[in-house]
Amino acid sequence: MKRPAWVTQGLRALALVALSALALQLVFAARVAMMTVVDPQSTSFQRSEVWRLLVEQQRILWSQQWVPGERIAANLKRAVIASEDGSFVDHGGVDWDAIEKAWERNERAEARAEALSRRAQARQGRPVVPKIVGGSTITQQLAKNLFLSGERTVLRKGQELLITLMLEALLDKGRILEIYLNNVEWGEGVFGAQAAARHYFRIDAAQLAPHQAARLAVMLPAPKRFEKRPASPYLLSRTATIVARMNDVELPR
């Protein structure tokens, strides 16, 4: 029995979509594989930030200098792992326990915000927006920053997961951390450990002391906000906590 024309066309369209998706994954995999020997000079996030600043301020703000991993202080590596991803050396790219805990915290935050919003509406106040936290690992953050946009969709999250697995399969943990520390945002137009160390402390990344490294690590979730409030109580308190945790951190070999 001959298929209707619309069925044949639909199957061809699906095959084309599948081939396009496969080709895209192969491109991502090839780019990740190149990072075993080639240092990425910019990320998708950096380029979008530079464009935003150019549009908003009519000038380019981009401070970054790549330095090899051995020229980044072990203090900073320990501090970032302690603050951002305590099980970095052990997981395969995704920390499912951290995601579950973040999910539970977010559910509680949303429930509290909903209750407070009802009270605020009764008093004709503003609704309360819940503070959402993430459970992303360092590898997931790197996957997103390297190639993807900041939109929160299921499709984008799925692509992030695939790139995360590629990074873990093709690069060792030391290289992943090296690329992350050289490209992560540390302020308005400030990218990477070397630029951050020069910007905040007028020293090289190799010279960061424990307290300085911990302060930079604590800034990572919201660097632009903490750049404007360097003496905020939260930043100071969290910095002390990270300093206390750093000695227990295992670095990748």
Output the pLDDT for position 130: 40
Higher pLDDT, 227 or 120: 227
Q: What is the pTM of this model?
A: 0.84
Output the pLDDT for position 220: 95
CATH number for 51: 1.10.3810.10
Residue 205 lies in a domain: yes
Residue 134 lies in a domain: no
Q: Buried (b) or exposed (e) across 192-227, using 16+ Cβ within 10 A?
A: bbbbbbbbbbeebbbebebebbbbbbbbbeebeebb
Q: E strands, the chain, where?
A: 185-187, 190-191
**Please, which pLDDT band fits residue 85 given cuts at 50, 70 and 90?**
very high
Radius of gyration (Cα) for the chain, nearest Å?
Answer: 21
Q: Which residues lie closer than 8 Å to 118 by C-beta, 6 or more apart? A: none
Residue 232 lies in a domain: yes
Helix axes 154-170, 138-147, angle to 10 degrees: 110
Residue 227 lies in a domain: yes
Q: Which tokens belong to 152? A: 């929160």
Total tally of structural domains belonging to the chain: 1
Read off the pLDDT of each residue in 222-251 and give the average, rounded to a whole number. 94
How many whole angstroms separate alpha carbon 86 and alpha carbon 82?
Answer: 5
Higher pLDDT, 189 or 96: 189
Q: What is the span of the domain harbouring residue 228? A: 40-90+172-253
- Over residues 102-148, the pLDDT tens digits come to 555 655 545 554 555 556 565 655 544 344 445 799 999 999 999 99
Read off the pLDDT of each residue in 40-52 and give the average, rounded to a whole number. 92
Q: Which tokens belong to 82? A: 């302690």
Residue 219 lies in a domain: yes
Side chain identity at residue 245, one-letter code: R
**pLDDT over threshold 70, residue 232:** yes
